[in-house]
Amino acid sequence: MTVTVLVPIFALLAIGFAAARRGLLTAEGNSGLLKIVSCFAIPALLFRSLADGRAAIGGGGIAMAYLLGCVTLLIMAVIYGRMALRLSVADCVIFGLGVIYSNSSLIGVPIAHAMFGRQGIALLSDIIAVHTLVLLPAATLLLAFGDGEGPGRLSKALVSAISNPMTLALAAGTAWRQTGLALPLLVDHVVGPLADAAPALALIAVGATVARVPLPTTYAAPLASVLLKLVVHPLLTWTIARAMDLPWDQTLIATITAALPPGINVYILAAHFGRSAEDAARSFALATTLSAVSVAIVIQAFAWR
């Protein structure tokens, strides 16, 4: 299972990387591709998977297990950032977000889809909601207060989170699911091709993004971030999921998601507030490369259960 799932995933990442390095996919082109993936393709896949009444959803347990792991790890990361790395409070927020905010949409969705099909996407949607509606707004609020912006910035973050295409897709898919009706054929013919293209396009876009990140000159913060993200986060999430007695498939999806590299939004937020943006970018690139190992270990460990 490990080879069958991961070889296509990281082959597509490599294609994106090579396309960027060879100049076939420019920075502007990749920026447009990321927007198409984030605004149309991934939302289409989320909507179709949730609207399909045959795919079981997590019922909130998987989201709670993942969120508890994130909160615990965030506290650990902030303490480590302050005491060992001597980071400011605001920089600790970025450092902490980088170890709890997984790339659940651009990398997690293709992996969940490859392993479980629409059922995997339906389960993963709970975690994507945690990322979109809890983690990013909370981090934005902390950074805004640190910059003296306060509630105004929070309201913008909440509006952005609620109007995010992925949030809208989650809400629309859940609402349609409640009707018990199949998607109209015309709607399925529009949504279907976008949803089918989402995994490949997302991975190519991530690979091209990694290709443009320079190598770090200092490794302390990026290496610590990668260790916490790819090793501690999945172990902590697995422990909590087991303690909550979650079903096997939910435990696997939660643990794999925790073993993923950080999402590109961590870098975007860091750059916006001028806080450790270079370290965030390098952690993203390094963790994305090494996540082949962390995800492979998780999948193989579950296969041996």
Of 134-143, 144-153, 256-265, 294-303, the least confident: 144-153
Residue spans per domain, the chain: 2-303
Of 156-160, 188-192, 227-231, the least confident: 156-160
Angstrom CA distances, 267 to 8, 103, 115, 213, 296, stand at 26, 12, 28, 11, 25
CATH node for 2-303: 1.20.1530.20
pLDDT exceeds cutoff 90 at 219: no
Of 151-155, 177-181, 298-302, the least confident: 151-155
Q: pTM of the full predicted structure? A: 0.83
pLDDT, residue 157, reads 63
For range 228-234, the mean pLDDT: 96
Q: How many CA atoms lie within 13 A of 54 on its CB side?
A: 6
For range 155-180, the mean pLDDT: 81
For range 83-104, the mean pLDDT: 89
For range 239-267, the mean pLDDT: 93
Long-range contacts of 92-95 (CB under 8 A, 24+ apart): 93/139, 93/142, 93/143, 93/146, 93/275, 94/139, 94/143, 94/266, 94/269, 94/270, 94/273, 94/275, 94/276, 94/279, 94/280, 95/221, 95/225, 95/276, 95/279
Nearest-10 Cα torsion for 55, 48, 261, 72: -60
Residues 171-193 pLDDT 10s: 898 889 888 888 899 999 999 99
pLDDT exceeds cutoff 80 at 98: yes
DSSP track, 163-181: H-HHHHHHHHHHHHHHHTP
Most confident of 40-49, 124-133, 252-261, 268-277: 252-261
Nearest-10 Cα torsion for 12, 219, 82, 281: -30
Residues 136-152 pLDDT 10s: 778 877 776 655 555 56
Local confidence band at 87 (pLDDT 50, 70, 90 cut-offs)? confident
> Phi/psi of residue 87, each to 5°?
-85, 155
- Supply the mean pLDDT for the chain: 86
Q: For residue 119, what are its two tokens?
A: 């059922």
